[in-house]
């Protein structure tokens, strides 16, 4: 379980996060929703360990992780631009985190192949990622993130580079994958429809603060 307790973060005069607190249960898909500049990315970077809060703390299973480096948190992060390795093929991209964690090469290859099948990319494992479409690259990024069996998956506006039709397709696929794997997931988005569609609970942020928390139907009926 993740606990965020009164986390604040300031950049110069800008209060990017102001006493943000929430809990998240294992297996939950949580969306952080709000307009540009409300602090979503800052919150995600604090959770990932890429940024330290000025105040407050972050706990995982009752252990303080506020100052734990990113690689020790066992979280996976998918950025807006996917950050795939262009010189590696699809399979090698998905194997990367496993090899880094000292998984034997053969086993890593098998796990990566299984994940490529789960995200419907079977047959493309030898392609260079630069030869793939945006939607396919997005799926490689999700497969790479989930292949290491992270305690928490962090997604930062993962569909923003896709056109509307493709976005819906890839959203549906991600939803199916997350339901199947029951991965604990936090999704940052400014798209209300996307948050309502993918998340079981939504945190609405505004100017660095949590404005509302609820299930999509709570928020839909009491906006």
Chain residues in the site for ligand ADP (CB under 6 A): 11, 14, 16, 34, 36-42, 80, 156-157
Q: In this structure, what are the phi and psi dihedrals at residue 192, rounded to the nearest 5 degrees?
A: -60, -45
**Strands ordered across the beta sheet of 209-214:** 75-78, 152-156, 185-189, 29-33, 201-206, 209-214
Measured from the CB atom, the residue of 78 and 111 that comes closer to ligand ADP is: 78
- CA atoms of 176 and 29, how far apart (whole Å): 12
Measured from the CB atom, the residue of 46 and 219 that comes closer to ligand ADP is: 46
Please state the closest distance from residue 207 (CB atom) to ligand ADP, in A. Answer: 9
Structure tokens at 109: 């290859």
Structure tokens at 72: 């020790």
Please state the closest distance from residue 172 (CB atom) to ligand ADP, in A. Answer: 23
Measured from the CB atom, the residue of 41 and 183 that comes closer to ligand ADP is: 41
Contacts of 110 (CB under 8 A, 6+ apart): none
Measured from the CB atom, the residue of 19 and 128 that comes closer to ligand ADP is: 19
Please state the closest distance from residue 194 (CB atom) to ligand ADP, in A. Answer: 14
Please state the closest distance from residue 70 (CB atom) to ligand ADP, in A. Answer: 14
């Amino acid at each position: 379980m993740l606990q965020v307790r009164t986390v604040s973060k300031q950049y110069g005069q800008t209060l990017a996060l102001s006493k943000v607190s929430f809990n998240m249960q294992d297996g939950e898909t949580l969306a952080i929703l709000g307009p540009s500049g409300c602090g979503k990315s800052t919150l995600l970077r604090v959770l990932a360990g890429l940024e330290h809060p000025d105040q407050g703390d972050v706990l995982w299973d009752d252990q303080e992780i506020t100052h734990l480096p990113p690689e020790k948190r066992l979280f996976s992060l998918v950025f807006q631009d996917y950050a795939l390795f262009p010189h590696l093929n699809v399979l090698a991209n998905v194997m990367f985190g496993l090899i880094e964690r000292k998984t034997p090469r053969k086993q890593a290859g098998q796990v990566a192949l299984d994940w490529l099948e789960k995200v419907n990319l079977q047959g493309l494992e030898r392609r260079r990622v630069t030869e793939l479409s945006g939607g396919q690259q997005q799926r490689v990024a999700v497969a790479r993130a989930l292949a290491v069996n992270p305690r928490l998956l962090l997604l930062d506006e993962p569909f923003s580079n896709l056109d509307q039709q493709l976005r819906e397709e890839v959203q549906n696929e991600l939803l199916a994958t997350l339901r199947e794997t029951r991965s604990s997931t936090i999704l940052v988005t400014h798209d209300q429809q996307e948050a309502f569609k993918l998340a079981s609970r939504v945190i609405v942020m505004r100017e660095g603060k949590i404005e509302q928390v609820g299930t999509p139907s709570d928020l839909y009926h009491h906006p």
